[in-house]
Amino acid sequence: MLARVTTTDNGVDSLADVTSSEDRLRRFLLGLPGVDQVGAEARAATLSTRSIKTTAKAYALDLAIQMIDLTTLEGSDTPGKVRALCAKAKRPDPADPTAPQVAAVCVYPDLVATAKFELRGTGINVASVATAFPSGRSSLAIKVQDTKDAVAAGADEVDMVIDRGAFLSGRYGLVFDEIAAIRDAAGDAHLKVILETGELVTYDNVRRASWLAMLAGADFIKTSTGKISPAATLPVTLVMLEAVRDYHESTGLHIGVKPAGGIRTAKDAIKYLVTVNETAGPDWLDPELFRFGASSLLNDLLMQRTKLATGHYPGPDYFTLD
């Protein structure tokens, strides 16, 4: 449907060449085929009309719960709130022990230690935002130190933001070097690179930023910080899923995708899962390769789950407020 990207399109033989100099990187990124905006939006709209019912729906709901990065990123976060969130991550529905655990809890770096302690022995990861989240406006030294602090406190995953100002003014080399530096600083932690698609303006930019992040060593590419509107949208996620699919075809590597912000209903989550399956493929229907950055989504998934299990509509009074 949309034009696929292969390395030979851009007159380069291997992706290693692409990153050998800023000039080549720029030529490669600007040479990526443009995204057909109308086509991408129409495709996303078509995929969101699929009807997922009964057993498929039950599977999708449980999978979506397992893909959640349960997130709290407020200035008002307290250790108490993080502990409550961790309790919810471990046992999302206290009334139903069959409800699966979420994938990770996502907090600010100073609360990583609290979350890590609460989640010890559960297999649930602790993700931390870093690099002057959400604006990404500080020096590289500070961003690196921010990342090191988070990892030292026990973060299993680091969510970094790219420097959108540098990206939009065409300084791709700077963005690349920053991601690579954070990649080193993060050590063994999984690196998620937040593109903040709401500020990138065009789908072409989203595709370029996706490739840039993957070339620089991202394990995951993530749509948004959740602080900017629009946050995650289905067409943007579609473009990013195509980028990881194309990257996989070129390199054999699996890169994950994480839409974050604005996904509040189970219905929306299922639309994303359909898009994942139809775009990147069933390999990506795995919490290792696809995540939802969300908080209120979990309650809606649990309510839908309860509806399927009990046969009557549940109410929000029976689920935790968070």
Nearer to other proteins, 35 or 303 (CB): 303
Among 16, 46, 120, 318, binds other proteins (CB under 8 A): 318
What tokens were used for 213?
Answer: 């992040």
Among 9, 149, 314, 320, binds other proteins (CB under 8 A): 314
- List, in sequence order, every beta strand (DSSP E) within the chain: 68-71, 104-107, 125-130, 157-161, 190-194, 220-222, 256-258, 292-294
Among 34, 94, 170, 316, binds other proteins (CB under 8 A): 316
Min dist. Cβ of residue 319 to other proteins (A) = 10
Spot the catalytic one: 159, 163, 268, 300: 159
Please identify which residue in the block is written with the tokens 């935790």: 320
Whether 222 is catalytic is yes
Spot the catalytic one: 88, 116, 192, 258: 258
Cis peptide before 134 (omega within 30 of 0): yes
Cis peptide before 79 (omega within 30 of 0): no
Spot the catalytic one: 88, 116, 192, 222: 222
If one asks whether residue 48 binds other proteins (CB under 8 A), the answer comes out as no
Pairing of strands 256-258, 190-194: unpaired
If one asks whether residue 49 binds other proteins (CB under 8 A), the answer comes out as no
Please give the residues from 202 up to 231 whose contact with other proteins meets the rule CB under 8 A.
Answer: none
Min dist. Cβ of residue 299 to other proteins (A) = 13
Whether 57 is catalytic is no
Residues 6+ apart with CB under 8 A from 99: 62, 65, 91, 92, 93, 302, 305
* Only segment of 104-112, 175-183, 227-235, 306-314 that touches other proteins (CB under 8 A): 306-314
Whether 184 is catalytic is no
- Helix 22-30 vs helix 172-186: angle between axes, to the nearest 10 degrees? 110
Residues that bind other proteins (CB under 8 A): 311-318
